[in-house]
Amino acid sequence: MIISNKQIQSVLKVYGEQNNAGKNTKTEKAQPAKGKDQVILSSGVQEFGQVLQRAITISDVRPERVQELSKKIQAGTYQVDSKDIADKMIGRILVDDLL
């Protein structure tokens, strides 16, 4: 996944707005704690957490593809289609403009 500068700036802007909104409210005197806070997760959220953990452990690298490309580069037979590069660049620009 490619994360562009525009996407980062959008996230930082939203974070800054949320952070400033919390600072503008009047602070009330803290009430003494009456008990311990609890977080109870639904079974759906727990299952999602397990799936997420499995997804995190999966490698993004495909060793067979890396080896194939390495061999082509070393042999001097690796060719890149300029149309494919242009398509990727234009696609990235369009995604950035949407955000």
Residue 82 token pair: 């300029």
Residue 41 lies in a domain: no
Residue 84 lies in a domain: yes
Contact between residue 6 and residue 96 where contact means Cβ atoms under 8 Å apart: yes
* Tens digit of each residue's pLDDT (9 = 90 or more) over 23-37: 655 555 566 667 888
Read off the pTM.
Answer: 0.37
Range of the domain at 72: 48-98
Q: Which pLDDT score is estimated for 33?
A: 65
Q: What confidence tier does 1 reach under pLDDT thresholds 50, 70, 90?
A: low
Residue 21 lies in a domain: no
| CB neighbour list of residue 7: distance below 8 Å, 6 or more residues apart | 96, 99
Residue 88 lies in a domain: yes
Mean pLDDT of 15-21: 76
Residue in the block written with tokens 């061999």? 71
